[in-house]
Amino acid sequence: MTTILADTFRAALTRLTNEEQKQVKLTVYELQDNPDQPGLSMHRVDKTRSPDIWSVRVGRDVRIILQKSGGDLILAYVDHHDDAYRWAERRRIEAHPTTGALQIVEVRELVEEVVGPASEAEQAARPEPALFAALSADDLMSVGVPVDWVADVQAVTEDGFFDLADHLPEEAREALLEYAITGQLTRAAPPADDPLQHPDTQRRFRVMEGVEEMQAALDAPFEKWAVFLHPSQRATVERASSGPARVVGSAGTGKTVVALHRVWRILQAEPDARVLLTTFSDPLSRALAAKLRLLLGERSALLDRVTIAAFDRVAAQLYTLATGQKPNMAPAQAIRSQLRKAADEADVSEVSSQFLHSEWDNVIDPWQLDSLEAYAEVPRVGRKNRLGPKQRERLWQVFAAVRTHLATRRLFTDSSLFAETAALFRDREPKPFTHIVVDEAQDLGVAELRFLAAIAADRPDALFFAGDLGQRIFRQPFSWKGLGVDVRGRSVTLKVNYRTSHQIRRAADRLLPRTVRDLDGLADERAGTISVFEGPEPEVHVCASQQEERETAAAVLSEAISTGISPAEIGLFVRSEAQLGRARAAVRTAGLESRGLVDPARDEAETVLVGTMHLAKGLEFRMVLLMACDQNVLPLAERVEQVADEFELDEALTTERQLLYVAATRARDRLVITAAEPASEFIDDLLSAG
Ligand SMILES: Nc1ncnc2c1ncn2[C@@H]1O[C@H](COP(=O)(O)OP(=O)(O)OP(=O)(O)O)[C@@H](O)[C@H]1O
């Protein structure tokens, strides 16, 4: 007999007490071992609409609801006696007549709380149009709307949609939302012979191969993604690649989840695989490590074959491994003074410090240019090369002097460490890693990408990237193809946002263009992304002074706490360190305590996280408060003043905007933005309708 676990069962299990959960799990293992054993007290549920629904007794008051049909045993639900029976009486488990996907269908006539199709009189009085009036019953069935619910969907207006959507299977809900936003109806995958093989079945039912798998699935934490993936996520995880591949999608669409499952799949499929899971910062790599542990659960022995660390740490470790020495890093300030000194000596005083720094940071150092010829030929993306050959020659003397200064002292920059370590491993076999999975890949620089390509095995599926071009906040763009990493034709876009409410996502999306293109012509298309739940509209408070802002923010925090949001569920972010004081003062005024990101000693449950927007990356909170969104803070005036040319100005404005997008999309349910007058121009974009 095949045992199948439904997502509704797992969700219901987590609502029971620990002791009840333990008892339920033991009963499930017994059922899986032999569902017919006499010790199990199993009864057919009489009042249901399907003949195959049974209840199994767990202790005095808890009941498991399951469907027994053919050779399959579907674990559907678990709850206290009366609630379990009520759940069972209102549901059918069946293959959808059009799509063939297995669904748990709510029996329409037994669901009272949804407003039924409006009468003609009501419709005449109601000015709101029906959202799906143009779709026929066949259209609706083609996306998996259960027969019972077709009339309700045809009659629903925008106001009632999210309430109704709660009663529909995910594929129908998502297709209808997409239609409401884009006017396009994406039909379900073609029917499979076996309903269990249908991609929409697999997002809510999973066949359990053995007791061990069942244990892992039931012990896995409440995060649904640990067990059930969206079909587009699953396809991306499982896809065999003929070359480097990537997954893109706007914030909250599950790119990190895909990256984690990809790592797991590689480890499972290849006993000799050595995997690097990497990203751009230590806090993010720690978060990835925690999530991977969670996903692997009982299979944590697999972790022995994974390295999880930020790019720069991996480079430093491999350098030490190859040379026996620790790399000595040059302080950024020392490089700045060397540049100025060399410029004075070479008598190029007409060139501003801004230009020198920018040229070093964005061209000379990342590309590791080592000659005047290389300097002349480097691809300058978007940046006008305003240098004549003579001037370039003089400037090169400056950069060459700094390079010599660093080389003679064996001092590294991040980029030179990447380059040197890449050179140490480029021709070595075997490579340190068979597979490399990169999260937040939009912030890879030239040196990092070359480094990763050099330390990965020479096999087509060695490199996998997850990222969102719209969230690039650190690095300037460059052509990946030009460096030999061509993901064209192997890029998948995820469209379902699981993190952020419809209202917050819609507002945050207004900060960015609908399409963001990379330099190889690949587009990240943001239009058509949907959120699966609703919440309040984001709030914006533009205050007359910083003091008024502090009081307003404090009042917002107090009100949130009074409505049941705990301090740990709140993230408070500001543009940069200079505004942290304003944020902490607001937390104090609300009578709360704050903690920083690198403040592990603080009790997380009792404190509000306060940090800069750059550090918000990769996190998520029930409520996000963004403070100090003032005119000179976003975009940051100091940064705008320091640009070397028009290209850099454009870059600065784009990445400042993207920074606000990153911070705003950390919010699940509530987003509040405050500013002291005059407010950032970005706020107008966020609020503008349409
Ligand atoms: N299949 C799924 N089912 C349920 N929840 C999911 C699923 N996939 C992702 N999530 C949830 O959605 C949220 C966002 O996921 P994730 O962090 O992977 O998104 P992301 O695309 O990497 O976001 P960002 O670009 O903002 O970093 C998380 O809370 C995650 O648990």
pLDDT in tens, 571-583: 999 999 999 999 9
Least confident stretch, 82-96, 143-157, 198-212, 408-422: 198-212
pLDDT, greater one: 344 or 547? 547
Residue 119 confidence (pLDDT) above 80: no
Print burial letters for 22-37: b (CB count within 10 Å at least 16), e (below 16).
Answer: eebbebbeebbeebee
Find how far residue 669's CA is from the centre of its chain.
16
Average pLDDT over the chain reads: 89
Q: Check: CB of residue 582 under 8 Å from CB of residue 627.
A: yes
β 62-69/53-58 pair status: antiparallel
The verdict on the CB of residue 255 being under 6 Å from ligand 1 is yes
Ligand 1 atom closest to Cα of residue 494: 21
pLDDT classification of 658: cutoffs 50, 70, 90: very high
Query: In this model, does residue 499 exceed pLDDT 90?
Result: yes
Q: Which residue has the tokens 């559907």?
A: 76
- Residue nearest to ligand 1 atom 11, measured at CA: 498
Which SS3 state, helix, strand or coil, does residue 112 take? coil
Q: Residue range 14-29: average pLDDT?
A: 93
Is 136 within any annotated ligand binding site?
no
Which residues lie across from 309 on neighbouring strands?
278
Compute φ and ψ for 80, nearest 5 degrees: -70, 155
The finding on whether 223 has its CB within 6 A of some atom of ligand 1 is yes
For CA atoms 209, 214, 215, 221, the dihedral sign is positive
**Is the reported ipTM for this assembly greater than 0.90?**
yes
DSSP 298-332: GGGGGGGGEEEEEHHHHHHHHHHHHHSSPPEEPPH
> Cα angle at 198 between 193 and 199, to 5 degrees?
155
174 Cα–ligand 1 center, Å: 16
What pLDDT was estimated at residue 55? Answer: 94
Residue from 223, 498, 617 whose mutation best tests the ligand 1 pocket (most atoms within 8 A of CB) = 498
Minimal CA–CA distance to 626: which of 663, 655, 581?
663
Helix (H) or strand (E) run with residue 476 in it: none
Question: What's the start-to-end Cα distance of the chain, in Å?
Answer: 53
pLDDT greater at residue 467 or residue 227: 467
List 530's β-bridge partners, or say none.
496
Confidence of residue 3 (pLDDT cuts 50, 70, 90): very high
**What tokens does 120 get?**
């003609």
Confidence (pTM): 0.87
Is 131's pLDDT higher than 80?
Answer: yes
**Cβ 309 under 6 angstroms from ligand 1:** no
Residue 257 CB less than 6 A away from ligand 1: yes
Q: Report pLDDT for 219.
A: 80
Cα separation of 688 and 526, whole Å?
17
Q: Does 330 count as an annotated binding residue?
A: no
Q: What are phi and psi of 43, to 5 degrees?
A: -130, 145
* Whether pLDDT at 227 is above 90: no
Are 359 and 395 in contact by the 8 Å Cβ rule? The answer is yes
Whether residue 467 has its Cβ less than 6 Å from ligand 1: no
Q: For the beta carbon of residue 108, count every other beta carbon within 10 angstroms.
A: 17
Over range 611-626, report the average pLDDT: 93
The SS3 of residue 675 is strand
| Torsional class of 355: left (φ above 0), alpha (ψ -120 to 50), beta (otherwise) | alpha
Distance 503 CA to ligand 1 centre (A): 17
Residue 386 pLDDT level (bands cut at 50, 70, 90): low
pLDDT in tens, 500-559: 999 999 999 999 988 878 888 787 777 788 888 889 999 999 999 999 999 999 999 999
